[in-house]
Structure 1
Amino acid sequence: MNNLKNIKKTTLSKEWATLDRIDYDYQFKNDEWKSVSRECYNRGHGAAILLYNLEKGTVILTKQFRMPIYEANKEEGMSIEVCAGAIDHNDTALATIIRETEEEVGYRIKDAKQVLTAYTSPGALTEKMFLFIAAYNQSMKVNKGGGLESEAEEIEVLELPFSKAIKMIKNEDIIDAKTIMLLQYAQINNLIPAKAGIS
Structure 2
Amino acid sequence: MKKFEEKTLKSETIFEGKIVKLQVDDVRLPNGKTSKRELIKHPGAVAIIPITKDNKIIFVEQYRKPLEKSIIEIPAGKLEPGEDPERTAIRELEEETGYTTSKLTKVASFYTSPGFADELMHIYITSDLEKLEQPPAQDEDEFVELIELSLDEAKRFVEAERIHDAKTNFAVLYLETQELL
TM-score normalised to structure 1 length: 0.83
User: Aligned partners of 1:11 and 1:87: how far apart in 2?
Assistant: 21
User: Aligned partners of 1:144 and 1:177: how far apart in 2?
Assistant: 31
Aligned-CA RMSD value: 1.8
How far residue 147 of structure 1 moved from its aligned partner, in angstroms, is: 5.7
Q: Which of the numbers 110, 113, 116 marks the counterpart of 1:124?
A: 116
User: Aligned partners of 2:82 and 2:28: how far apart in 1?
Assistant: 34
How far residue 170 of structure 1 moved from its aligned partner, in angstroms, is: 1.7
Q: Which amino acid aligns with 1:24?
A: V
User: Aligned partners of 2:57 and 2:8: how far apart in 1?
Assistant: 48
Q: Which amino acid aligns with 2:73?
A: E
Q: Which of the numbers 10, 28, 36 marks the counterpart of 2:12?
A: 10
User: Aligned partners of 1:179 and 1:113: how far apart in 2?
Assistant: 17
User: 5+ unaligned residues in a row in structure 2: which ranges?
Assistant: none
Aligned length: 178
| 1:146-185 to 2 correspondences below 5 Å | 148-150=138-140, 152-185=141-174
The aligned residue for residue 60 of structure 2 is: 62
How far residue 144 of structure 1 moved from its aligned partner, in angstroms, is: 8.3
Q: Which of the numbers 89, 97, 101 marks the counterpart of 2:89?
A: 97
How far residue 184 of structure 1 moved from its aligned partner, in angstroms, is: 0.6
| 1:15-164 to 2 correspondences below 5 Å | 15-16=17-18, 17-27=20-30, 32-53=31-52, 55-70=53-68, 77-137=69-129, 140-142=130-132, 148-150=138-140, 152-164=141-153
Asked whether the 8 Å contact 1:116–1:130 carries over to 2, the reply is: yes
Q: Which amino acid aligns with 2:149?
A: L
How far residue 186 of structure 1 moved from its aligned partner, in angstroms, is: 0.9
Q: 1:155 to 1:133 in 2, by over 3 A?
A: same
How far residue 102 of structure 1 moved from its aligned partner, in angstroms, is: 0.6
Asked whether the 8 Å contact 1:145–1:157 carries over to 2, the reply is: no
Q: 1:127 to 1:147 in 2, by over 3 A?
A: farther
TM-score normalised to structure 2 length: 0.91
Asked whether the 8 Å contact 1:112–1:133 carries over to 2, the reply is: yes
User: 5+ unaligned residues in a row in structure 1: which ranges?
Assistant: 71-76, 193-199
- List, as ranges, runs of 4+ consecutive aligned residues in structure 1 with deviation greater than 2 Å: 1-7, 143-147
Asked whether the 8 Å contact 2:8–2:25 carries over to 1, the reply is: no
Q: Deviations over 1:71-126 (max 9, x none)?
A: xxxxxx10110000101112111000001101100101112111111111111111
